[in-house]
Amino acid sequence: MSRRCSLPFVISLATLAAPALAQHAFDPARAPADDASILLAPEPYKTYRGHSLIRAVIRDHTEFNRVLAISGDCWTHTPRLEQPIDFLIPPGGLHAIRALGVSFDIIEPDMGEVVAAERARLNAPQTRGWYDDYKNLEAISDKVDELVALRPDLVSRFIVGPSLESRTIFGFRIDSPTPGPAGTIKPVIYIHATQHAREWLAPMTTMYVAEQLIAGYATDPDATAFLDKFTVIVVPVVNVDGYVYTWTTQRFWRKNRRNNANGTFGVDLNRNWSYAWGNNNGSSGSGASETYRGTAPFSEPEAAGLRDHILSTPGIILAFDIHTYGPLILSPWGYTASPPPILPYFNSLGLLMQSAIASVNALTFTSGQWYSTLYPASGANIDWWYGDQSVLNWTIELRGGSFAPPPTDIIPSGQEIYAGLLALAQTFCRADYNHDAFMNGNDYDDFVVDWIGALPAADYDRNGFVNADDFDAFVVEFEQGC
């Protein structure tokens, strides 16, 4: 969830009560590939009938607690006072909110109608294009298989690992035959999405971007140049259990499906990463909170499995974590207001992506450091990538005004992120070793010093070793000017 915030007053959601829901029993049966409909399990489904989505400005902690007591479901995670905060309000609650004298706007008068229309549409025969509506986990898996069959010379499927409920977290690798510089590993861009289950636009956008690259290779010059420069790894759904649960039982479920053994369910996977884990400034130790960080770093198999796959993949230099809703381009840090040492470099590339995205549909994404642009978040994936792995990365919060954007947002969202990634790929240069947005003798000198000292930063091809291959690869790219 995204909302621009800058005030230092952060409200804890530790007291936010989550319903004690029975865990979903997974039906492993898959629909036939030629089935024209999307099958939803016949389980009790939360209708959200009469629930309203409002955006309120809260003046103090007492007022927040009173609104929360009426709502029970705050959609702005780590909200701040006197900044817009989204609440889902149950039937009859609007009158009570007005009685408090709270200023608010109604974003959706009846989320039940939104959910019912979405559910009816998804259960109807699907005769349109794949990106014309949202797809469940099985359909996304089938689409990956389709891409592999379409271009087996470029695409290969892999398994990240099992989820808490023993589903398979899957991904795919897109790799052209063009080698890396001086015969080394080609730099890798790692894209993963849907740590938060209800953010359905995230996997669709990720799949769209990947398919544009795959279908365009050798025919479209931009896609060809992208894949000749980078290998791309995609994990479209990290939170597979939660994602299935949003299709079968509760549309706006966020966390994974951990039974916390205290009447609450779920861990926020994007607070379960080890870097700055346990900091109450942007996460919660309460299982009732939507930002519950779990009992320990990587306590959840989904986060641990993704970590292990990342660590086993050499060559990663850029990473993206795709979420909704924004629209935002966020760079480290999330856990502190202190800037990272290369914040100007992050900002320059963020603004580059912002400009490219805006050129597509005239939608301007806000770009900046997570903490000051969005809200505090500790134990988040974005800080682990940079703080633990020294990988440049961004969290992208896609377009949309709720967690149920219309399906007409899917293709525009894909077009926007594709344009942003193309612009980054055309500009990014590993040989800008000191990340000052200029490539000159300082980069060469800094690299040589680190290489002679066998420092991890000089592992240019990021394969776990500092050796002559790193020096050769750096020199090739430095002389080429990228």
Q: DSSP string spanning 448-465? A: HHHHHTT-GGG-TT-SS-
Residue 303: CB atoms within 10 A of its CB come to: 27
* Distances, alpha carbon 28 to alpha carbons 21, 32, 171, in Å: 21, 13, 19
Strand pairing partners for 157? 172
Q: What pLDDT is attached to residue 30? A: 36
Strand pairing partners for 108? 53
User: What domains can be seen in the chain, in order of their start residue?
Assistant: 128-427 (3.40.630.10), 441-480 (no CATH)
Cβ density class 65-78: b for 16+ within 10 Å, e for less: ebbbebbebbbbbb
Q: Do 462 and 233 touch, CB atoms closer than 8 A?
A: no
Q: What pLDDT is attached to residue 317? A: 96
Bridge pairing between strands 168-174 and 231-235: antiparallel
What is the model's pTM? 0.89
Of the candidates 471, 303, 456, the one whose C-alpha atom is nearest the C-alpha of residue 390 is: 456
Burial class (CB in 10 A: 0-12, 13-18, 19+), 436: middle
pLDDT under 70: residue ranges of the chain: 1-43, 77-79
Determine the Cα angle at 230 with ends 224 and 236, to 5°: 95
Q: What pLDDT is attached to residue 77? A: 59
- Measure CA of the first residue to CA of the last residue in the chain; give whole Å: 36
CA 470 to chain centre: 31
Stretch (H or E) spanning 401: none
Length of the chain: 482
Q: What pLDDT is attached to residue 10? A: 45
**pLDDT above 70 coverage of the chain, percent:** 90
Of the candidates 170, 205, 207, 477, the one whose C-alpha atom is nearest the C-alpha of residue 317 is: 477
Residue with tokens 């430095």: 478
Three-state secondary-structure class, residue 74? strand
Q: What pLDDT is attached to residue 43? A: 54
pLDDT, tens digit, 9 for 90 and up, residues 362-404: 999 999 999 988 888 999 999 999 999 999 999 999 999 889 9
Backbone angles phi, psi at 326, to 5 degrees: -135, -110
Active-site positions read 397
Cα separation of 81 and 127, whole Å? 46
Q: What pLDDT is attached to residue 78? A: 60
Q: Do 450 and 457 touch, CB atoms closer than 8 A?
A: yes
- CB-based contacts of 349, cutoff 8 Å, min separation 6: 392, 424, 427, 428
Virtual CA dihedral for 434, 440, 446, 452, nearest 10 degrees? 130
Q: What pLDDT is attached to residue 177? A: 94
